[in-house]
């Protein structure tokens, strides 16, 4: 009987040891998480050598669709299917990543616009911007799509606000690094539109905004929204529902 007890104990120990080895092996073989950022690389120049823009950009808020508002990258696998990538993650919440990317790229572009100007205002005006990302699509090995509306409101401008839209499609190669690079390029294009619009508003020397919907006969300069579609190539839109997709991007 003693032999049976010892035998059962020995068998239990062997089973426990085998389970522990398997558990450790599974942990060791689990892929490590990778973290991505959308922030552009800073230009190769010293801070003292950079020109100060005549106007300042303050991106106050960025909203993103609920299905991509998570730490993991979410990619499209078809017209009706997405995949959440557990091991491919954003370095910070996606809305923060987009806000940082747009802020850095738009500020740099605005500095490029203002570099040749000989005179500057005593105090640079601040333009407050809110961004609503309506589409943030990742198609691995094919394209990325960012469709966003954004509004610009100068400080101290009572009720003055210009609302515009940007729709960007960027082709991408295979791999998640290429996918993130595509989104960075798309955001850089949108940042260029933001900066160009702020530059146009600033050039109007803070006159009241006059939009296409205004009924006023005020002769002050009108600042128009830029063309909404950037880098949209028809062959990048899938065949199914292509006409509807092109119509949405062209609106």
- pTM to 2 decimals? 0.73
Q: Which helix (DSSP H) or strand (DSSP E) does residue 17 occupy? A: helix 2-29
- Show me where the domains of the chain are located: 1-30, 50-211+218-250
Closest CA to 159 of 107, 118, 113, 214: 214
CATH architecture of 50-211+218-250: 3-Layer(aba) Sandwich (3.40)
CA distances from 60 to 34, 102, 114, 126, 231 (A): 28, 11, 22, 11, 26
DSSP, res 22: H
DSSP, res 136: E
pLDDT of residue 22: 52
Question: In a structure prediction context, what are the per-residue pLDDT tens digits for the chain, which is 251 residues long?
Answer: 554 544 555 555 554 555 554 555 545 557 799 999 999 876 665 444 555 667 889 999 999 999 999 999 999 999 999 999 999 999 999 999 999 999 999 999 988 776 555 445 557 889 999 999 999 999 999 999 999 999 999 887 555 789 999 999 999 999 999 999 999 999 999 999 999 999 888 877 545 444 444 444 444 457 788 888 886 544 333 433 334 443 444 34
pLDDT of residue 139: 97
Separation of alpha carbons 4 and 6, rounded Å: 5
DSSP, res 205: T
* Residue 247 CA from chain centroid, whole number: 22
């Amino acid at each position: 009987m003693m032999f049976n007890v010892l035998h059962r104990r020995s068998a239990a120990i062997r089973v426990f040891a085998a389970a522990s080895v398997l558990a450790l092996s599974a942990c060791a073989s689990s892929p490590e998480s990778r973290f991505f950022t959308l922030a552009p690389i800073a230009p190769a120049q010293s801070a003292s050598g950079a020109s100060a823009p005549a106007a300042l950009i303050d991106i106050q808020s960025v909203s993103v669709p609920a299905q991509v508002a998570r730490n993991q990258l979410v990619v499209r696998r078809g017209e009706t299917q997405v995949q959440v990538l557990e091991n491919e993650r954003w370095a910070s919440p996606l809305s923060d990543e987009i806000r940082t990317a747009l802020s850095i790229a738009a500020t740099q572009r605005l500095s490029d616009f203002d570099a040749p100007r000989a005179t500057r205002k005593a105090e640079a005006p601040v333009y407050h911007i809110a961004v609503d990302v309506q589409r943030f699509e990742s198609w691995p090995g094919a394209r990325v799509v960012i469709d966003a509306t954004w509004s610009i409101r100068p400080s101290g401008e009572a009720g003055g606000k210009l609302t515009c839209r940007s729709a960007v499609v960027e082709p991408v190669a295979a791999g998640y690094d290429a996918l993130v690079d595509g989104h960075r390029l798309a955001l850089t294009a949108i940042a260029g539109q933001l900066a160009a619009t702020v530059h146009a508003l600033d050039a109007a020397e803070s006159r009241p905004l006059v939009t296409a919907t205004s009924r006023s006969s005020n002769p002050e300069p009108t600042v128009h929204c830029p063309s909404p579609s950037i880098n949209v190539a028809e062959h990048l839109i899938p065949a199914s529902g292509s006409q509807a997709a092109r119509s949405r991007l062209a609106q």
